[in-house]
């Protein structure tokens, strides 16, 4: 259904764009139809822009018009399928190349950051490469890898960009310690209940070359402030 709606939106918006291109562009939207059409145009324009590829709007609109009018297409269905397969391969290759380049940059910047950070007062580097700094030392028990823990935390990239925070959500989170990134599994076993540490997690102890979500890129070094509240 979503695909059908998107195709309909694209058709309406682009046909509207074609009509407007032959007359003065609007500077004010008065009717509901105009507002809906403009909104569809913004939506479709955003989708096209996100493709990061050259688009011939005239050819795009002609394809829509030929379909709606029943006119014989300029390409056969087999040709269309082959064109789109090649387009998909090209887009995939471009995405992989960008991801690889970003990963190499992140790896280099992370290595430099950790080298400099490891020289700072109070920062300890473990055998695995994990770095940590004690902000508050607790007096409670220390968890094992098989325990479930409850923590408050804040995660940032090395440039300070926050990507996650239980503080921001207003409630702590609980999880089995052996079900998270290895930097957390190792680091939290160093903590007592009531402690607050800052962890500097190399990419191989974090999300590696995959990254995670929109903000954690491939080979990203991460910083976490973690407060151990409970061992369940």
Measured CA to CA, the distance from residue 27 to residue 33 in angstroms comes to: 15
Respond yes or no: is residue 61 known to be catalytic: no
Respond yes or no: is residue 163 known to be catalytic: yes
Residue found by looking up tokens 């409630």 in the block: 171
Catalytic residue among 132, 199, 200, 207: 207
Respond yes or no: is residue 224 known to be catalytic: yes
Catalytic residue among 113, 163, 167, 175: 163
Catalytic residue among 153, 197, 199, 200: 153
Catalytic residue among 61, 132, 164, 199: 164
Q: Which of 132, 143, 223, 147 is nearest to 178 (CA)?
A: 147
Measured CA to CA, the distance from residue 121 to residue 133 in angstroms comes to: 9
DSSP assignment of 171-224? S-EEEEGGGS-HHHHHHHTTPPTT-EEEEEE-GGGTTGGG-BTTTB-TT--EEE
Respond yes or no: is residue 66 known to be catalytic: no
Respond yes or no: is residue 231 known to be catalytic: no
Residue found by looking up tokens 């804040």 in the block: 154
Q: How big, in percent rounded to 5, are the helix, strand and coil portions of the chain?
A: 50, 20, 30
Classify residue 36 by burial, with Cβ atoms within 10 Å: 0-12, 13-18, 19+. middle
Catalytic residue among 15, 64, 158, 181: 181
Respond yes or no: is residue 38 known to be catalytic: no
Active site residues: 153, 163-164, 181, 207, 224
């Amino acid at each position: 259904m979503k695909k059908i709606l998107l195709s309909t939106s694209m058709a309406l918006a682009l046909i509207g764009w074609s009509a407007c291109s032959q007359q003065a562009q609007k500077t004010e939207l008065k009717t509901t139809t105009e507002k809906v059409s403009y909104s569809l145009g913004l939506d479709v324009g955003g989708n096209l822009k996100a493709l990061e590829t050259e688009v011939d709007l005239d050819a795009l609109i002609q394809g829509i018009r030929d379909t709606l009018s029943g006119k014989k297409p300029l390409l056969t269905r087999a040709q269309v399928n082959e064109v789109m397969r090649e387009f998909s391969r090209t887009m995939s290759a471009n995405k992989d190349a960008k991801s690889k380049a970003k990963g190499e940059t992140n790896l280099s910047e992370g290595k430099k950051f950790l080298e400099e950070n490891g020289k700072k007062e109070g920062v300890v580097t473990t055998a695995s490469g994990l770095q940590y700094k004690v902000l508050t030392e607790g007096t409670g028990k220390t968890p094992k890898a098989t325990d479930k823990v409850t923590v408050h935390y804040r995660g940032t990239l090395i440039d300070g960009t926050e990507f996650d925070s239980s503080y921001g959500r207003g409630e702590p989170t609980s999880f089995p310690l052996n079900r998270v990134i290895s930097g957390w599994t190792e680091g939290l076993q160093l903590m007592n209940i009531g402690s607050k540490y800052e962890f500097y997690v190399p990419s191989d102890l974090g999300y590696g070359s995959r990254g995670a979500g929109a903000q954690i890129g491939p080979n990203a070094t991460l910083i976490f402030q973690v407060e151990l509240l409970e061992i369940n």
